Amino acid sequence: MALCATVALALAGVAWVARAVWHIRLAVVGEPAAGPPDQGEGVHRPLTSLEDSYHLVSSVGGFVVFVCVLAFLSWLNRVRENARLLAGAPPRYAGIWVYAGWIIPIGNLWIPRGLVVDVHQKSAPGARLPWIVNLWWGLWLVGLFSGVGLMYADSTDEVIARAYTEVWPLLASDLAVVGAAVAAIFVVRAVTAVQETRGRVDVSP
């Protein structure tokens, strides 16, 4: 499960790097004389080849992120159960929060991190929390709530228009998402390694 999560996170990072590359390409080429793709009042001009390819990159990236979410949540659910067995105590959060904790307003600011922290504490009592967990969570929040990252109200055509006029916020958000994906890989490895070590100790004579 850890391997699947790691591969999925790596692919999500690559997908977001591709988005960043297309944001740069759009900014370098500049907005066509015809104006942005969304002309307003329901009017859309024909897309250029570069804009059309960005739609493809965006769609593929969205699918990869969806797969990544499934893999990461499966891993989190597994290590949560492992931590319960290792500690002989119930988890701090009920199982529903493994999924709901990411989407409940306000609660999604700390519950997912709390799930990982609880797993680590129960898997390695007294051990210091790896610093990468806090880095991962900080980058995740930036990438999630920056307004141009994982959650944004703009359509793909509106994001293209933003790349023409204000690419730097887009790139900053892209960097945060990629950084969060890379940091999450190390979180997965750190928590999994702790449980594997504890498991060997517990079964040794």
The one-digit pLDDT tens for each residue of the chain (205 residues) are: 889 999 999 999 999 999 999 999 999 999 998 888 888 877 888 999 999 999 999 999 999 999 999 999 999 999 999 999 988 889 999 999 999 999 888 898 999 999 999 999 999 998 999 999 999 999 999 988 776 555 566 788 889 999 999 899 899 999 999 999 999 999 999 999 999 887 764 433 3
pLDDT score recorded for residue 183: 97
Give the H/E segment covering residue 23. Answer: helix 2-29
Per domain, the residue ranges of the chain are 2-29+49-199
**Contact predicate 26/50, CB 8 Å:** yes
pLDDT score recorded for residue 126: 87
> Following DSSP, what letter does each residue of 85-125 receive, concatenated?
HHHTS--SS-TTHHHHTTTSTTGGGTHHHHHHHHHHHHHST
CA-CA-CA-CA dihedral for 119, 124, 129, 133, to nearest 10: -40
pLDDT score recorded for residue 149: 56
Burial of 82 (0-12, 13-18, 19+ CB in 10 A): buried
pTM of the model: 0.89
pLDDT score recorded for residue 74: 95
Rounded Cα distance, 8 and 6, in Å: 5
